Amino acid sequence: MEVGSQLTEQFRTQDAADRTVVASGTSCLDQLDTLLERPATHPLEVIDPSSSA
């Protein structure tokens, strides 16, 4: 959570509002979802969106 909280402000800027947040670990994905109040995506889902189905 400490690392994620340091990144939070970077992802809340107006310039970053439409950027995809990517994290590979389950706990990182969960923590970023909570901290940013928007979903984080696994890198494989960015490469192959059909892999999430």
Q: Following DSSP, what letter does each residue of 4-52 receive, concatenated? A: HHHHHHHHTSGGGTTSPPB--SHHHHHHHHHHHSS--B-HHHHH-GGGG
Domain definitions of the chain by residue range: 2-46
Q: What is the pLDDT of residues 1-53, one digit of tens each?
A: 677 677 788 888 888 888 888 989 888 888 888 888 888 899 999 999 887 75
Would you state the pLDDT for residue 7? 76
Angle CA(24)–CA(29)–CA(33) in degrees, nearest 5?
A: 150
Residue 46: the pLDDT is 92
Give the global pTM.
0.67
Which tokens in the block code for residue 9?
């402000």
Whole-number pLDDT of residue 48: 92
pLDDT at 16: 84
Residue type, 41: T
pLDDT for res 53:
54
Fill in the amino acid letter for 4: G
